[in-house]
Amino acid sequence: MTNTVQITTLGALTSGQDWRVTLPHAQPYPQLFWITRGQGVLMLGGTRRGVGAHNLIYVPAFSLVSLEMGRQSIGLVATCPLSLADGLPETPRQLRIRDVSAISELTGLFEAAQREATSQKPFFENALAAHMGLISVWLCRQLALPENDVPKEKAAARLAARFCTLVSAPDASLHTMAEHAETLGVTPTHLTRACKAATGRTAADILTQSILHKALCALHDTDATAKTISQQLHFGSPAYFTRFIQHHTGSPPSSLR
């Protein structure tokens, strides 16, 4: 990630590697997803929600998220460097936009930013930052509307959100699900039930899948050896790491590079 705003399509974001968005993960920068067609399922802020056309999904930096969209889905994604995130909210949000003028305005803002990113004209970075500022203003105006007030969450969702915050930390793989439950002051069974009710995934699944995402990113995006990656992710041994990847992907680490 550079210091420049990046605008891409939903399809280009994964480049055929759907796991990059479908597995629970956290990025060190904010992202906005503007879904214009299709349906899917989102896990964000410790809850599982449906996604449809004209949904804006805001994911703050270091927030655990997963997004599963149908093959015919269309959307644009804005990735914002932390240096330009001052005008963005601190909490994750999903907005279902029904007002035609608001839909048209946001689509225009995204498309203008996308054209600027493609043009690579002189000072395009400055222009992209300005476009990001306008998108931030649009978002803040929508959040100020009464219909977009945050609904009161159930206890299970609040606990799941706290667990997802722990899992999004860089050192999350140092601890087992049971140790995370102890940190939260609940039993592993209670945590598992709460996460299942709120997200559709057990607590162990969320933790395991987030580790798998980090492992796959390291295998695809770096030259680090399997041994080094296994050490970084706190696996007991390179052999255990290899078995972990083989079990979850059907392929050994060497064939994924």
Report residue 87's pLDDT band, with 50, 70 and 90 as the boundaries: confident
Neighbours of 72 (CB within 10 A): 8
Predicted pLDDT at 222: 94
Predicted pLDDT at 1: 53
Tell me the per-residue pLDDT of 13-66, one tens digit each, with 9 for 90 and over. 988 899 999 999 999 999 999 999 999 999 999 999 999 999 999 999 999 999
Please state, in angstroms and rounded to a whole number, the distance separating the CA atoms of residues 250 and 95. Answer: 37
Tell me the per-residue pLDDT of 110-159, one tens digit each, with 9 for 90 and over. 999 999 999 989 999 999 999 999 999 999 999 999 999 988 889 999 99
Predicted pLDDT at 62: 95
CA dihedral 182, 187, 193, 197 (to 10 degrees): -50
β-strands 55-59, 31-37 pairing: antiparallel
The token duo for 5 is 């705003």
3-class secondary structure, 229 = helix
Tell me the per-residue pLDDT of 33-47, one tens digit each, with 9 for 90 and over. 999 999 999 999 999
The residue type at 98? R
Predicted pLDDT at 2: 61
Nearest alpha carbon to residue 256 among 241, 240, 237: 241
